[in-house]
Amino acid sequence: MTHAAISLAGKRVVVIGGTSGIGFAVAKLAQELGAAVVIASRNSARIDAAVERLPGAAGDSVDLRDEASIANFFENLGEFDHLAVTANDWGSAGSGTTSDIDLAAARDSFEVRFWGALAAVKHASRNIASNGSITLTSGMLAHRPKKGALLTSTVIGAVEHMARGLAVDLAPVRVNTVCPGLTLTEHSKQMPDEVLHAAVAELPLQRSASPEEAAAAYVYSMLNAYVTGQTMPVDGGGALV
């Protein structure tokens, strides 16, 4: 990319899940590069707080568990250029052994990360720019499953495969996935220090990512008009060990 291409001036960027963590970092970086930013989330109070932290951004509520809410959000939004979906539902995937899986909870674990993302893309596709982009979110467990995390690995792996299909189906709109490793968001910072250290001890870079480092991959997906159908790891070399 030329220096002139490293700009989102005149573009409208929507971040679903943009009130905190990686999503907020995506919104902030996009705005710094000149974009008009819309932050969306289910929680109105968190939207207000995020918009206060990012003056000039707009905010609106959307519930990825409710297709009517998603349809209404995009209908009111109007035309835009880029969509990033970073929203997550930390409580749904759960953990445990395969023999003890609660199948109702297993189905529910797909609601936000998979079905919610697909519903967002469905309605976004009606008013996104033809040269725009959509970036979804997976995670390293899709590639390096861990014992007791079957559902998480399955859901985020499904997101990556969905994005590849969407890249073909929605072309010339580009669709990619960012695959973050352990990132020091508000959520992960609640983990005990010893757990955080153990999770990165074997990595080539031996540390977690910052939300800003992860966000750069989403913005790269927006900026590079020749990248589609790709999964972009931001994992500190996690796929190598």
- Per-residue CA distances from 24 to 21, 40, 150, 155 (Å): 6, 10, 28, 23
Whether 19 and 41 have beta carbons less than 8 Å apart is answered as yes
Residue 95 pLDDT class (50, 70, 90 cuts): low
Write out the residue range of the structural domain in which residue 187 sits.
12-236
Mean pLDDT, residues 196-210: 91
Mean pLDDT, residues 177-181: 96
Whether 82 and 37 have beta carbons less than 8 Å apart is answered as no
Contacts (Cβ under 8 Å, ≥6 apart) of 174: 132, 133, 134, 167, 221, 225, 227, 228, 229
Give residue for tokens 């609601």. Answer: 111
Is residue 3 pLDDT above 80, yes or no? no
> Cα–Cα distance between 141 and 102 in angstroms, integer?
20
Token pair recorded at residue 209 = 């990512």
127 lies in some domain:
yes
Q: Which candidate, 119, 134, 132, places its Cα nearest to that of 84?
A: 134
Mean pLDDT, residues 175-202: 89
> Cα–Cα distance between 93 and 204 in angstroms, integer?
29
pLDDT in tens, 50-90: 999 999 999 999 999 999 999 999 999 999 999 999 998 75
Q: Domain tally for the chain?
A: 1
Strands (E) located in the chain: 12-16, 36-41, 58-61, 80-85, 128-137, 174-180, 231-234
pTM of the model: 0.93
Residue 24 pLDDT class (50, 70, 90 cuts): very high
Burial of 173: CB neighbours in 10 Å, binned 0-12, 13-18, 19+? buried
Burial 206-233 (b: 16+ CB within 10 A, else e): eebbebebbbbbbbbbbbeeeebebbbb
29 lies in some domain:
yes
The whole-chain average pLDDT of the chain stands at 93
138 lies in some domain:
yes
User: Which carries the bigger pLDDT value, residue 10 or residue 93?
Assistant: 10
3 lies in some domain:
no
185 lies in some domain:
yes
109 lies in some domain:
yes
pLDDT of residue 94: 57
User: Which carries the bigger pLDDT value, residue 198 or residue 119?
Assistant: 119
> Cα–Cα distance between 82 and 77 in angstroms, integer?
12
Token pair recorded at residue 211 = 């939300």
CATH of the domain at 109: 3.40.50.720
4 lies in some domain:
no
241 lies in some domain:
no
